[in-house]
Structure 1
Amino acid sequence: MTVSPPLRRHFPDGVFSSDCPSRVVLDHVTSKWGTLVILALAEGEPLRWSELRRRAEGVSEKMLAQTLRTLEADGLVSRHARPVVPPHVEYALTARGSELAERMVPLMDWIADHAPAIVGDAEAAAATR
């Protein structure tokens, strides 16, 4: 498949370079847990730790903590701790995170629509090997 010239202009040669900063950001936002956290927070209201953990079924405490720290450091997620006992911490998307989520939702829609067929095709191909 060849990339058409109009599409190529959106991706300067720099993104294909191994030292391009976009590789770091791409790794953070397209990791399984990064994507699910961003999409969960894109639903609107700030979420507490336990709510995020329920939304992203299967994420371990360690991975959720690591993912939230990374996305916060990237300026995509904000953490708001209320000075109460017991601690009350909420997470929300920043303006940059919301902008990213707007672009991720259509991709996730496509993936959700096509995943059953793609997984089925892959399983059928594996069964014939």
Structure 2
Amino acid sequence: MSASATSPPSNPDPLLLPLAKEDFGLEFRVVARGGTRRGIRLERAFWISLKQMAESRKCTIGMLIDEIAGVQAQSGNLTSAIRVACIRGQAKENVTLSKLASITTINAILVACPSPAFALTSSKKILTFN
């Protein structure tokens, strides 16, 4: 068996960002909404995601958690439901941003541009032009 068959392929564009030790620690927070106080323990990354989701919806983290709690009432595991909501929210945002950055969208913008224009990749190569 050759060495190339046993070693994992080198990937110049890693899938994961470097993770800090703080990312793995659980944070406990008390979230109050509508007279109900909930003690929730989540990883820091999920608290950050919840904050971003709440800001984009122009609501508080408490309102968001209250909505999640109402939807998942039958399962009984609120922290799991919060994690799933965070993952789904990030996935939805990723799809939206991918559509905005698609070559089709870029071409449409360039076609609409009245003067000569071009789009570059991050490595400064011409992607497309009008």
TM range (shorter): under 0.3
Q: Between Structure 1 and Structure 2, which shows a larger proportion of helix residues?
A: 1
Structure with more contact order per residue of length (Cα contacts < 8 Å, sep ≥ 6):
1
TM-score (ref. length: structure 2): 0.28
TM-score (ref. length: structure 1): 0.28
